């Protein structure tokens, strides 16, 4: 390979690289050994993981990065990213000194909590990698929809650890990305062949190349650094290169740790019989031999710059950059180095080797001499990152004051959801043009089909509807094109949440608001739970519609029944869970979800729906709406000081209403509270209780206000098609007695009367629960 790279640039970047290794090490050292510890907990941080990737990040951030590129940095290289921004002047010394401390820079790059620009949060390994592929899909979506100029396209880049390649979500994403023909995506593997526990399996050698190549990726392997290439081209050198190729990962790592003398002994034992090779080895002293043997592609700035420069075009690219974990540090290569920390003697000797005077540890260019420091400063200031542009704030999209909902005495929330979206699709509302729907192979069975008929599948290349062309009758007339608004996914719920995360970050990443709506069967939220948490953690904004849900899916049975989903909805920060019983409630909550997606302090929404068709209620007025939006309203207002109420959520409202009708005679004034969001009620309760201590105000929460209509000694029968804990806590709000109904065991097939009887969700169960309170 002929080098076209300016040697001065390589030399300067080499200095920056050692500076990043130093600053990241020192930041971690400071937090663990110098800062006062008040709790005796290990602070932690990963010096070895950082040292492994500093050359890659130097070559990228200070040379190869384009102005519109976005990067997900492997979680344990967080300190390197902060050091880069420190050199750029975007990060303060105070933040570095408070690494992993309260209000300081976070352990792992965080979009919402760090003060430096972070494109994608990372932490749960694998997810930060996959989201970049879906972000490139979103970028293509925006280009195809005329929201982004093609010249503004950047690369979506993941800097990943090699152990992340063990995460299944990588391969689910790879398959989906191939189907969608994604482009402008780079994954750069810090291939140090060490995970947390151990060195990684040799048997995977070259397998990753095959897997990615099969999925249409360009695979660029950076095994040898420039010095290795030169030396191995000398007489006798090829044998050393071949020896490295055969060397098991664990042996290579152990020899790296042991150093030059060990390398020599082993190489001579294995290759010494070959005179030219032995002679070549003899030309290196121990230190030089160790440096040669670890001169891997991922540590060679020149090799990295060349590889990045040559990767032209928009083909997704995997760079396998061979590295040493802990490169340049005393525990380089040691299999236990993942959480290893240098001791004081070790870090001081690293400091001295860089010419940094004691006390000057935080100075960005300490020990370099004025001219060299000025040159580096100029290089840093001229780097692509210093010129990177942040997208403009997304223009708010008007949400209609009311979303029309279908009328009809008998309806299900799932069918109405499809209808509301269809009406939106047919409307000229600007909101409709920015809705993007997506579903992991349950588009039809979650009633999204009609929206897709109207708005089409999103495809970069035209996709003709063969059935429609052949005039074969079908309800689903789906053609794919650039203007399409539905992202079709295979059955991989994890991908659903990563796509929702990427779509839900369109505003901060690309300056355009999208309104992502994803559908899934309620029980299968659990399949993508970590990705859902990941999406919320970085404040992606979307609407999740989960349906059908609970035991109420009847004949589908226990395998498809969701039980603890309400608790997921209540427990997940960044996601507001509503469970409407009636379709006018649904329309209200969908509207709120669209508003909430673009509110500064907004978030995402989860609607738990059902296929059960139930009789709708007549509303004398819309007085119920404000309360419903806060989490609950009196469907049947209790008499003042009433001794009992039924508290119900979602699909079993008909049972609650029927029970209320009959109990009315025995318990005069009994109320029926429709809890539309156990989540909001509980959050409000927690906030009110904390409020007294946090800001000196103790205002009654919505749950307390509702329940204040009852006698303090009143009894509550709570009922939900899901974990009873979603509602039973309500008794704690005012100290009222509770008899909770709900599901805490697996269901089975059956029709609703049988199932509701067996699992105690019917009218009789409510009578029994009430009797239990009063007898």
Ligand X SMILES: Cc1ncc(C[n+]2csc(CCOP(=O)(O)OP(=O)(O)O)c2C)c(N)n1
Q: Which residues bind Mg ion (CB under 5 A)?
A: 161-163, 192, 194
In whole angstroms, give the CA distance from residue 122 to residue 170: 14
Is 169 an interacting residue with respect to ligand X (CB under 6 A)? no
Least spacing, CB of residue 65 vs ligand X, in Å: 20
Q: Print the binding letters for residues 40-69 with ligand X: x by CB under 6 A, - otherwise.
A: ---------x--x-----------------
- Which listed residue (64, 105, 159, 163) binds ligand X by CB under 6 A? 163
Span of 162-170, 246-254, 403-411, 706-714 interacting with ligand X by CB under 6 A: 162-170
Is 110 an interacting residue with respect to ligand X (CB under 6 A)? no
Least spacing, CB of residue 53 vs Mg ion, in Å: 9
Please, which residue, 161 or 316, has the CB nearer to Mg ion? 161
Q: Do 616 and 411 meet the contact criterion of CB atoms below 8 Å apart?
A: yes
**Which residue is closest to ligand X by CB?**
161
Please, which residue, 170 or 765, has the CB nearer to ligand X? 170
In whole angstroms, give the CA distance from residue 510 to residue 394: 8
Residue 520, by phi and psi: left (phi above 0), alpha (psi -120 to 50) or beta? beta
Please, which residue, 195 or 485, has the CB nearer to ligand X? 195
Q: Return the SS3 of 366.
A: coil
Question: Interaction with ligand X in 305-344: which residues (CB under 6 A)?
Answer: 325, 338
- Which listed residue (91, 192, 547, 616) binds ligand X by CB under 6 A? 192
What does 19 bind: Mg ion, ligand X, none (CB cut-off 5 to 8 Å by kind)?
Answer: none
Is 162 an interacting residue with respect to ligand X (CB under 6 A)? yes
Is 125 an interacting residue with respect to ligand X (CB under 6 A)? yes
Question: Smallest Cα–Cα separation from 183: which of 134, 222, 239, 233?
Answer: 134
Pull the structure tokens for residue 350: 């690293």
Is 296 an interacting residue with respect to ligand X (CB under 6 A)? no
Please, which residue, 326 or 669, has the CB nearer to ligand X? 326
Q: Do 90 and 40 meet the contact criterion of CB atoms below 8 Å apart?
A: no
Pull the structure tokens for residue 60: 């990228």
What does 76 bind: Mg ion, ligand X, none (CB cut-off 5 to 8 Å by kind)?
Answer: ligand X
- Which string of DSSP letters, residue by residue, matches 186-198? EEEEEE-SB-SSS
Least spacing, CB of residue 169 vs ligand X, in Å: 9
Q: Print the binding letters for residues 1-40 with ligand X: x by CB under 6 A, - otherwise.
A: ----------------------------------------
What does 125 bind: Mg ion, ligand X, none (CB cut-off 5 to 8 Å by kind)?
Answer: ligand X
In whole angstroms, give the CA distance from residue 499 to residue 182: 13
Please, which residue, 69 or 190, has the CB nearer to ligand X? 190
Least spacing, CB of residue 764 vs ligand X, in Å: 46
What does 114 bind: Mg ion, ligand X, none (CB cut-off 5 to 8 Å by kind)?
Answer: none
Least spacing, CB of residue 323 vs Mg ion, in Å: 8
Least spacing, CB of residue 325 vs ligand X, in Å: 5
Least spacing, CB of residue 70 vs Mg ion, in Å: 23
Q: Do 133 and 182 meet the contact criterion of CB atoms below 8 Å apart?
A: yes
Least spacing, CB of residue 207 vs Mg ion, in Å: 16
Please, which residue, 21 or 338, has the CB nearer to ligand X? 338
Pull the structure tokens for residue 134: 């879906």
Please, which residue, 21 or 608, has the CB nearer to Mg ion? 21
Report long-range pairs for 92-99 (Cβ below 8 Å, ≥24 apart).
93/362, 96/23, 96/27, 96/30, 96/362, 97/27, 97/30, 97/35, 97/362, 99/27, 99/28, 99/30, 99/31, 99/43, 99/45
Burial bucket for residue 276 (CB in 10 Å: 0-12, 13-18, 19+): middle
State which H helix or E strand residue 718 sits in.
strand 710-720
Least spacing, CB of residue 663 vs ligand X, in Å: 49
State which H helix or E strand residue 710 sits in.
strand 710-720
- Which listed residue (69, 190, 584, 655) binds ligand X by CB under 6 A? 190
**How many CB atoms lie under 10 A from the CB of residue 694?**
9
Q: How many CA atoms lie within 13 A of 38 on its CB side?
A: 2
Buried b (16+ CB within 10 A) or exposed e, 304-319: bbbbbeebeeeebbbb
Is 196 an interacting residue with respect to ligand X (CB under 6 A)? yes
Burial bucket for residue 44 (CB in 10 Å: 0-12, 13-18, 19+): middle
Least spacing, CB of residue 124 vs ligand X, in Å: 4
Q: In angstroms, how far is CA 236 from the centroid of its own chain?
A: 49
Question: Interaction with ligand X in 730-769: which residues (CB under 6 A)?
Answer: none
Beta strands in 625-690 (DSSP E): 632-636, 642-649, 671-675
Residues that bind ligand X (CB under 6 A): 49, 52, 74-76, 124-125, 161-164, 190, 192, 194-196, 325, 338
């Amino acid at each position: 390979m002929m080098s076209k790279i300016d040697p001065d640039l390589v030399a300067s970047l080499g200095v920056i690289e050692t500076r990043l290794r130093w600053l990241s090490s020192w930041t971690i050292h400071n937090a663990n050994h110098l800062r006062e510890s008040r709790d005796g907990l290990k602070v932690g941080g990963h010096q070895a993981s950082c040292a492994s990737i500093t050359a890659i990040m130097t070559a990228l951030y200070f040379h190869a990065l384009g102005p519109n590129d976005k990067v997900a940095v492997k979680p344990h290289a967080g300190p390197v990213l902060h050091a880069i921004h420190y050199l750029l002047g975007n990060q303060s010394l105070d933040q570095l000194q408070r690494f992993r401390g309260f209000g300081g820079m976070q352990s792992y790059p965080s979009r919402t909590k760090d003060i430096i620009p972070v494109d994608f949060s990372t932490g749960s390994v694998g997810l930060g990698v996959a989201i970049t592929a879906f972000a490139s899909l979103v970028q293509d979506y925006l280009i195809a929809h005329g929201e982004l100029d093609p010249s503004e396209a950047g690369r979506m880049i993941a800097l990943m650890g090699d152990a992340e390649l063990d995460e299944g979500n990588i391969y689910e994403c790879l398959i989906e990305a191939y189907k969608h023909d994604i482009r402008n995506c780079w994954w750069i593997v810090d291939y140090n062949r060490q995970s947390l526990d151990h060195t990684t399996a040799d048997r995977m050698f070259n397998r990753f190349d095959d897997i990615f190549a099969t999925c249409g990726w360009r695979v660029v392997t950076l095994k040898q650094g420039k010095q290795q290439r030169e030396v191995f081209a000398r007489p006798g050198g090829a044998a050393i290169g071949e020896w490295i190729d055969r060397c098991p990962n664990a042996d290579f790592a152990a020899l790296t740790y042991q150093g030059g003398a060990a390398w020599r002994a082993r190489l001579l034992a294995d290759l010494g019989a070959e005179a030219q090779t032995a002679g070549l080895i003899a030309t290196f002293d121990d230190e030089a031999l160790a440096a040669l043997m670890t001169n891997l592609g991922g540590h060679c700035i020149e090799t990295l710059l060349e590889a990045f420069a040559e990767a032209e075009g928009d083909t997704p690219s995997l760079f396998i950059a061979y590295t040493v974990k802990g490169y340049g540090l005393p525990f380089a290569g040691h299999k236990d180095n993942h959480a290893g920390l240098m001791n004081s003697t070790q870090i001081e000797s690293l400091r001295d080797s860089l010419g940094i005077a004691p006390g000057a540890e935080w100075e960005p260019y300490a020990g370099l001499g004025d001219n060299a420091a000025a040159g580096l400063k100029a290089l840093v200031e001229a780097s692509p990152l210093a010129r990177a542009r942040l997208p403009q704030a997304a223009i708010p999209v008007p949400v209609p004051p009311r979303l029309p909902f279908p009328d009809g005495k008998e309806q299900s929330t799932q069918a109405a959801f499809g209808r509301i979206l269809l009406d939106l699709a047919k409307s000229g509302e600007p909101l409709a043009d920015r809705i993007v729907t997506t579903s992991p192979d349950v588009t039809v069975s979650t009633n999204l089909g009609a929206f897709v008929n109207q708005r089409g599948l999103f495809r970069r290349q035209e996709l003709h509807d063969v059935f429609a062309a052949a005039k074969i009758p079908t309800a689903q007339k789906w053609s794919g094109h650039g203007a399409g608004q539905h992202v079709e996914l295979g059955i991989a719920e994890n991908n659903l949440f990563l796509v929702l995360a990427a779509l839900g970050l369109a505003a901060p990443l690309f300056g355009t608001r999208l309104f992502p709506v994803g559908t899934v069967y309620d029980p299968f939220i659990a399949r993508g739970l970590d990705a859902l948490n990941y999406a919320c953690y970085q404040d992606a904004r979307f609407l999740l519609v989960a349906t059908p849900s609970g035991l109420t899916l009847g004949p589908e049975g226990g395998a498809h029944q969701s039980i603890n989903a309400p608790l997921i909805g209540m427990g997940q920060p960044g996601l507001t869970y509503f469970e409407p019983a009636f379709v006018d409630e649904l329309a209200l909550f969908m509207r709120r979800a669209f508003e909430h997606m673009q509110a500064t302090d907004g978030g995402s929404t989860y609607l738990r729906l059902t296929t059960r068709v139930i009789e709708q209620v007549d509303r004398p007025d819309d007085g119920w709406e404000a309360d419903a939006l806060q989490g609950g309203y009196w469907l049947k207002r209790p008499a003042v000081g009433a001794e009992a109420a039924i508290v119900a959520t979602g699909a079993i409202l008909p049972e609650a209403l029927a029970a209320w009708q009959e109990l009315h005679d025995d318990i005069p004034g009994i109320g029926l509270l429709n809890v539309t969001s156990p989540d909001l009620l509980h959050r409000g309760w927690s906030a009110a209780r904390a409020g007294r201590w946090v800001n000196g105000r103790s205002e009654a929460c919505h749950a307390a206000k509702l329940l204040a209509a009852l006698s303090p000694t009143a009894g509550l029968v709570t009922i939900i098609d899901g974990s009873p804990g979603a509602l039973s806590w309500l008794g704690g709000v005012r100290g009222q007695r509770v008899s909770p109904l709900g599901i805490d065991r697996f269901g089975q097939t059956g029709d609703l009367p049988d199932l509701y009887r067996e699992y105690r969700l019917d009218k009789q169960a409510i009578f029994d629960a009430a009797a239990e309170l009063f007898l």
